Structure 1
Amino acid sequence: MKRTYEIHARPADIGDGWKLTLLEDGQEAGGGVFPILDDDPHQGMTWWNALTEERRAHWLMMSASAMPAAARRAYLLAHAYNEAFEEGESWAM
């Protein structure tokens, strides 16, 4: 029995984030959705203010924007992907 997984981006109009599909011998055997949750602006600013200049530069680069809100979105997208990846890796072991 071979276990693999796929992670695909979800469209923004249905919540953005990622869709995990778990496969067993090439057949879908489960999965999950890892959306970007709506973020409280206060929470986003607290996150931004806690970052070092280096981390701010990293997330601004990842967002391809100069706006802290875009950096926060890039962070949340990466976090959701990491959660999907970890679940997929657990499945595949």
Structure 2
Amino acid sequence: MGRSYEIHPRPADLGAGWNLKLLENGQEAGGGVFPVEEENASAGIAWWNGLTEEKRRHWLMMAASAIPAAARHAYLLAEAYNEALDEAESWVGVKS
């Protein structure tokens, strides 16, 4: 069977983000938690102001919202997922 992984969403009341399970021959051999990091409003505003209109549209679409704070959350959720995926792919030996 070898090495594999599972990435599952974390409940919002636990900080949202992702749970990573690293599996070896079907048995859990490790993992991690990749939460959406809390930040102050000024960081989100700076992020939004630095985006192009195209990027703003993209993140609003990903958030299914017209609210910039929701777009920022969608971005942070995607970043947390990418961190979990990077660790998972390293575990199974996938080269980026």
- Give the TM-score taking structure 1 as reference length: 0.98
Map 1:1-80; keep pairs closer than 5 Å: 2-80=2-80
% identity of equivalent residues: 68
Unaligned runs of 5+ in 2: none
Unaligned runs of 5+ in 1: none
Q: In structure 1, the residue corresponding to 2:75 is in which secondary structure?
A: helix
Correspondence for 1:89: 89
Question: 1:39, CA displacement in angstroms?
Answer: 1.5
- Give the TM-score taking structure 2 as reference length: 0.95
Q: RMSD of the alignment, in Å?
A: 0.7
Aligned residues: 93
Q: In structure 2, the residue corresponding to 1:85 is in which secondary structure?
A: helix
Deviations 1:38-75 (A, max 9, x none): 12100000000000000000000000000000000000
Q: Which amino acid aligns with 1:36?
A: V
C-alpha distance in 2, partners of 1:38/1:24? 32
